[in-house]
Amino acid sequence: MSDGTAIAGPDGLLRCPWGLSTEDYVAYHDEEWGRPVHGDDALFERLCLEAFQSGLSWITILRRRETFRTAFAGFEIAEVAGFGEDDRTRLLADEGIIRNRAKIDATLANARVLADWEPGELDTLIWSYAPDAENRPVPATIADVPAVTDESKALAKALKKRGLKFIGPTTAYALMQACGLVDDHVADCFARGADR
């Protein structure tokens, strides 16, 4: 059992312990998590998926991500903003996604809000809450990784103030981790500091 520090995978690379917990996590940990994500549609996708993950394990979402992308038109904000009642009914019946009425409704409502923003505005807003990396402690173990920070509280508040739904401080922090606003790979993980 791991003490929360980086552990060696079959290839000999040291990884965050969760990054080896299932086969599906290896590529996600190695190639995506903590790497900078930019672009309104890409960030909208991550925002939606993090909201759908609320109360569930991330692996549930990760394994359904392609189905989510198909169901939600690739998370293109303009497309999803145009979804009507027939689309909502279709989504509520789609067994390939999480059929949570509140989460589906929030995704559709958020797309409608974001469709009125200027191009790049979501990217700029989210990234304006990235903390100064120089002043952040490097987690030695996964127990050192917070679930919420002052920045995630502020980001959630800013998004809600602008009309977005189903985004709290924990979801905002998960977004910040996934999209590279923070680097929460443990100290000895080979992926720490990658693509920064």
Give 4's pLDDT tier (boundaries 50, 70, 90).
Answer: confident
Rounded distance between C-alpha atoms, residue 158 and residue 153, angstroms: 9
Output the known binding site for Zn(2+): 16, 29, 185, 189
CB 173 within 8 A of CB 181: no
Single-letter residue type at 97: I
Mean pLDDT computed over every residue of the chain: 95
Taking only the tens place, the pLDDT of each residue in 152-162 is: 999 999 999 99
Task: Choose, from 32, 58, 76, 117, the residue flagged as catalytic.
Answer: 58
Task: Choose, from 28, 32, 79, 127, the residue flagged as catalytic.
Answer: 28
Backbone phi, then psi, for 41, in 5-degree steps? -65, -40
Backbone phi, then psi, for 8, in 5-degree steps? -80, 135
Query: ∠49-96-76 over CA atoms, to 5°?
Result: 45
Q: Is the confidence at residue 84, as pLDDT, over 60?
A: yes
pTM (2 decimals)? Answer: 0.94
Q: Is the confidence at residue 28, as pLDDT, over 60?
A: yes
Q: Is the confidence at residue 1, as pLDDT, over 70?
A: no
Query: Is residue 173 among the annotated active site residues?
Result: no
Give 144's pLDDT tier (boundaries 50, 70, 90).
Answer: very high
Rounded distance between C-alpha atoms, residue 10 and residue 97, angstroms: 32
Q: Which of 74, 25, 24, 16 is nearest to 49 (CA)?
A: 74
Output the known binding site: 16, 29, 185, 189
CB 7 within 8 A of CB 185: no
Question: By percentage, how much of the chain surpasses pLDDT 90?
Answer: 92
What pLDDT was estimated at residue 196? 57
Rounded distance between C-alpha atoms, residue 26 and residue 16, angstroms: 10
Query: Is residue 95 among the annotated active site residues?
Result: no
* Three-state DSSP class for residue 174: helix
85-111: b (≥16 Cβ within 10 Å) or e: eebeeebeebeebbebeebbebbbebb
Backbone phi, then psi, for 85, in 5-degree steps? -65, -35
Taking only the tens place, the pLDDT of each residue in 99-132 is: 999 999 999 999 999 999 999 999 999 999 999 9
Query: Is residue 28 among the annotated active site residues?
Result: yes
Task: Choose, from 33, 45, 50, 151, the residue flagged as catalytic.
Answer: 50
Q: Which domains does the chain have, with CATH numbers?
A: 40-179 (1.10.340.30)
Quickly tell me which residue has 């198909």 as its tokens.
70
